[in-house]
Structure 1
Amino acid sequence: MELRGDKAVLRPVTEDDIAILDRIVREPAVAAWWSPPDDYEDNLAVVHEGEVVGAVQFAEENDPEFRRAGIDIFLTARCHGQGLGADAVRTLARWLVRERGHHRLTIDPAADNTAAIRCYGKAGFRPVGIMRAYWRDHRTGAWRDGLLMDLLADELT
């Protein structure tokens, strides 16, 4: 599988990508929001101009009464603020709606991660509400709030 956006290409993570992704997820600007994953099995590499610059993952709820998918992404700090994250999220969102048949997508950044919230807004996601004490900060052990955002299929651009 390979998904092409305006700026990003999404493809399965290969063995060669793992060291790169491990380095990226440990960058201070990324590690503030992400703990290093155990593996990248459920991730797609985000490739920009031939270089792996991050990863995006999705999870699907297939119960017909609650069918939806969730998305999460991280990019190397040097690619932040360039529209690459929004393009990668939008590209994956289109695939999840058009090819996988989801009518609703969610994303759940930390409530104080303003850059991520702005990025997801550019991809079409809207704030739904605050999820109190939602995620545990791997650096401090403290519970922190998350922002639930969603995007309905008919809102996808």
Structure 2
Amino acid sequence: MLIGEKILLRARHEGDVAVLHARPDGRMVLTAAARRGVAVPARGRGLGTDVVRVLCRYGFGVRGLHRLQVDTLADNAAMIGAAERAGFRVEGTLRGAAWVSGRFVDEVLLGLLAAHWSP
């Protein structure tokens, strides 16, 4: 989290966290931190996609935001897929941007504009 950043909404399920941040520069960022991933019996049921869609509804429908951004680890295929199903597009990769388990790993950025969002 950056200095001056505000948390607008936090969703937590079985150890996984999704947070909608308001950054000082006006950008809104959705950060997903999957500690254990979706429980095996719940995988493939679209729960991750539902969480992303709810956060979009809040960001665009309630807060009236112009743009949302998802930051996630490059190997988090479930989160990337959930974001893409919700309408996000991959905008780039930040090489070696995250420190995880004693090493640097890549992050993927995905973005969605309000004008391209389908409730």
Q: Give the TM-score band, short-chain normalised.
A: 0.7 to 0.9
Please, which runs of 5 or more residues in structure 1 have no aligned partner? Answer: 1-41, 47-51
Aligned to 1:146: 107
2:11 alignment counterpart: 44
Q: In 2, distance between residues paired with 1:45 and 1:62? A: 24
Distance 1:135 1:45 in 2: 21
Q: Distance between the aligned counterparts of 1:85 and 1:123, measured in 2?
A: 10
In 2, are the aligned partners of 1:59 and 1:71 still within 8 Å (CA)?
yes
Alignment of 1:44-63 (within 5 A): 44-46=11-13, 54-61=16-23, 63=25
- In structure 2, what is the Cα distance between the partners aligned to 1:144 and 1:53? 21
Q: Is the strand fraction higher in 1 or 2?
A: 2
CA distance in 2, matches of 1:45, 1:110: 18
User: Shift of residue 53 of structure 1?
Assistant: 7.5
Q: What is the alpha-carbon distance in structure 2 between the residues aligned to residue 134 and residue 45 of structure 1?
A: 24
Distance (Å, rounded) in 2 between the aligned partners of 1:90 and 1:84: 10
In structure 2, the CA distance between the partners of 1:81 and 1:72, relative to structure 1 (3 Å rule), is farther
Q: Which runs of 5+ in 2 are unaligned?
A: 1-8
In the aligned structure 2, how far is the partner of 1:113 from the partner of 1:83?
15
Shift of 1:113: 2.1
Q: How many equivalent residue pairs?
A: 106
Match status 1:130 vs 2:93: yes
Which residue identity lines up with residue 12 of structure 2 in the other structure? A
CA distance in 1, matches of 2:109, 2:90: 6
Percentage of identical aligned residues = 33
Question: Does the 8 A contact of 2:48 with 2:78 survive in 1?
Answer: no
Q: Which one has a bigger Cα radius of gyration?
A: 1
SS in 2 for 1:108: strand
Shift of residue 128 of structure 1?
0.3
Partners of 1:76 and 1:53 in 2: how far apart? 9
1:132/1:90 CA distance change after superposition, 3 Å: same
Q: What RMSD in Å do the two structures reach over aligned CA positions?
A: 2.1
Task: With the length of structure 1 as denominator, give the TM-score of the two structures.
Answer: 0.59
